[in-house]
Structure 1
Amino acid sequence: MKNIFKLLLLATGMLIMYSSCKKVDPLPFYANGAAPVLTSSATTIAPTANDSSKVVVTFSWTNPKYATDSATQKFILEIDSAGRNFAKETVSIVSGQPGISFTGQQLNNILANFGFAAGKAFSFDIRVTSSYGNNNEQLKSNVIKVTITSYLVPLKLTPSSSSSLVLLVSNATSKAVSFNWKSSPYGANIINYAIQLDTVGGNFTSPQLIKYGSSLTSDFTVTDLNSAAIAAGAIGGSTKNVEFRVVSYLGTNYDNPLVYSDPVVINITTFTPIPENFYIVGDATALGWNNDAGLSPTQQFTRLDAVSYGIIVNLTAGKGYVFVPVAGNWDHKFGGTSATGGTLLADNAVPGSNTPSPATSGTYQIVVNFQTGTYTVTPYAGAVPANLYIVGDATALAWNNTPGLAPKQQFTRLDAVSYGIIVNLTAGNGYVFVPVAGNWDHKFGGTSGTGGALLADGAVPGSNTPAPATTGLYKIIVNFQTNTYTVTPYTGVAVPDNLYIVGDATAGAWSNPVPTPSQQFTQTDNATFELTVPLTGSGAYLFLPLNGNWDHKFGGTSVTGGALLADNAVPGSNTPGPTVAGNYKIVVNFIRNTYTVTKQ
């Protein structure tokens, strides 16, 4: 066994001696290369948008003569603004090729991403660095100078139609016209778009601007286009050529415009925007120039249809008036130059002498049409009663025509020519309207249970106005300008028998029941309650239909008034009280569903 071990040890030693004596081949030696020489196919480059996909410049360099196959060589092309010593360079990497080409768009993107303004020439330093594929033996070329001008992609605005547009208020929410355009990119920058519009001749000096972000389409509704055209200088109810253009902006602030499209011109007939309400004020009227909330209801127009307001009013000869959309506010006004009607003018276009009243004092019907932008003033032979009541066996008081009709069966004056009431009617019976409670000298009515032509005195059927076929709660509207009445089922909040105020804005705080009569409203007609009460200048309050009961409540969200809310719709914080202590007149109207709070 010992001998075998010795033989193995001897063999291993001889093998080691043999290996140590074998000569290794020398490592390969690569000679130094030569710095490449860079050239350009052009030293001044000014591509246009049409060159976006075309090669506009090629940079070439000589072979650096490395000791490896050229396919394994690496080249880095560096471009930077002249004089920055390549501190903010942009690079392009090329493998195994002695050059690189750029399209107009590629070159434009490089300039844009540097943050350079488009359309201007800038000088650039350019060089190439060569190396082996593993980045060893880097050699830098000469630096060449090239002047490059960037470009912007033009915009073209395309309308769905360039035909003339007649904007109708009856189509207010419909689409009037749409536009589209292609993108106008500038490098990796964020580009937003907007449409500008102006009347022809305005030259876009103060255009209307509608912003669309990065979207490439635009839809104008009738209302939006009408408002924009008027804001641009078109007069409501007139026909005007309006021009549109799309503008691209650098960034999101719309303060750095880049590209403007050529304008698109469309002939547009506008309508005067219709206000929510309309009033007459002036020394030709009963209230003189007292423009306050008192204009409602006797000097408030009634809405005749989708485009018109009307009023019947006494006018004094030799004086003037204007129309206002908000009682107590002079921000906007309407009027004209003729005593008999004509073009409806707005704001500063209204004569300083105001709209002249007719030559003869009397009762007149005024109709204002916002579609045509006109008003008419014509003599009116009839008269609107100062009050209106309902009486008949279809009502709670039957045919007891006494002063006791007020206030439960007294209509609410809605405007200068309209009255409204919410009342229970019993099927199979009848009723009439009377202008004076307790007096049968005059009456009004009709032949239909649902409404129709308003008849007067002897024209009212002897059987009176028929109640609806089903007993229930109904809303009746009587309009003396259109000489019509309507009777419709009423499903809203029922008019309470009484109304009270409770809350820490009042003297009684949140104690319920509240002190009466100091915190109990007075019913002035079928749907209206009024109360003048001291409020603390802090806190909140509610209206209650039953004193001492929290089952139902009414209120709102505004200090000065607004929409009347009921039960769970009332804010949890209740109706906010005024910030200044004092006496306030509160009017709650259940047919209008409003409340007003006015400091006395």
Structure 2
Amino acid sequence: MKTFNYIKTITIGVLSLLMLCLSSCNDDLVDSSFDTQDTLGISISDSELVLKELLFDAAIDLNWSTGTNKNTGAAIKYTLQVDHATGDFSNPIATLVSDVQNTYSFNTNYGNLNKLLLDNGLEPDQTYDLTAMITANVSNESVPTQIATVNFTATTFKPITQHLYIVGDATPNGWNIGSATELSASTTQRGVFVYEGVLKPGNFKFAVSQDGCWCQDFYTKDETDDGKIIYNEGGSGDDLQWSIETEDNYRLTLDLLNKTITIETYVPVDPDEPAFPMLWIVGDASESGWNVDSPVAFIQNENNPIEFIYEGTFAPGNFKIFAGPLGDWCGEWYRPSVDNQDLISGPVEQNAGCDVDNKWLITEATKGRYKIKINTIDNTITFKKVSLYLIGDGGPNGWNINNPDPMTYENGEYVFVGALGADNPTGEFKISKFSGDWCDGDWINAAVPNQSIYNVAYITTSGCDGPDNKWKLQVGQAGNYEIRINLDTEVLTITSR
């Protein structure tokens, strides 16, 4: 009976504790580690923001403290809004953050804040008194909503145009603004536009649209400096134009942020001529190392001169492709669009200088021998890992060029271990560096026709150009062999096992 009472007492105690927990818990997490006792506050990194497009990426940071949940362990959610300093947030200019947890900052830049303000009704080139308000809502209804504010000023700017057109009697379409030639916008430098083409004797200026109204915005010449431009808003101001005296191919580079223009003649690229006469591999992943004085060269494709080809063994590290001049680190390069790029075929960037120095990355997992082809007109690149295949009725693949089994790659060597002559005791074979179609790639051929398998001299051929020499098994030579090829040292061995 005492034992029963003892058990009953424990049971009642556990049930009481469970009921207490259930009565005090709801959908929100209750944990003393989530207890928060703090006064909500908010700050801004600069209370006087003079927004400028030239400083587009300058950072703006809004940070706030946690506020309090009165030690309830309940979640706190935050909403961040901006309004005029005279506003009451009943219709705020914008909501920057809405109903988020575990977030205590908002980060943007001058350009994006300016766009947000203009998109929500503010005017460019005006200074506004604004207020940022952070609201903390606690999921436990017993804890009141908390609010904190910070005041700041913001001076907006009118964004530069996203399109630019050249117009004038020096240009291909004359003063017909509806057919004005559009300049190319730089993909790497904000506010820079380029025109390349013929200009003849006459004048020109730049419009922001093909709208036929001459009251639109133009960029015209600075009266004191031909290399400077003036933003002629709404057609106002002096309509000063640039002049061309001699018909030629011109490259015009406009920097709308810095208000500059460069005018130069150039020789157009012949679509049948390579952009550069030679290319070189450079980088610690390659055999050249970081040597720009005498790196290893690509081979120009005789049948397609704009294409250059390199084949080599790559170790873990980086590389890029040099276009010269030799010895100049800040010369011309072919580089990927991002640093440490994997070997992905597709577009490649051609650029000069040392400011952007993106490279391809070879890892332990991707090291090996590759064939690289680069088109210097289309600016495209292809990467193909090199595999070797035994092809012929004297080897295990037979005459299957479509889907043969590759040789094994071991520490820079291609290795075959297996039977020769199993299907044909006097069969023959050669070695392909590709699969697919007979004329799709390069071959490793015997030096002479019907060459003994113990003669390891070889030649390389391309496609179906031949000569199509092969190794040939003699009577009694069928059996197990090991074949090793090192393409770097050009050493081939065939050993009976």
TM-score (norm 2): 0.35
Q: Structure 1-normalised TM-score? A: 0.30
Q: Which has the larger radius of gyration?
A: 1
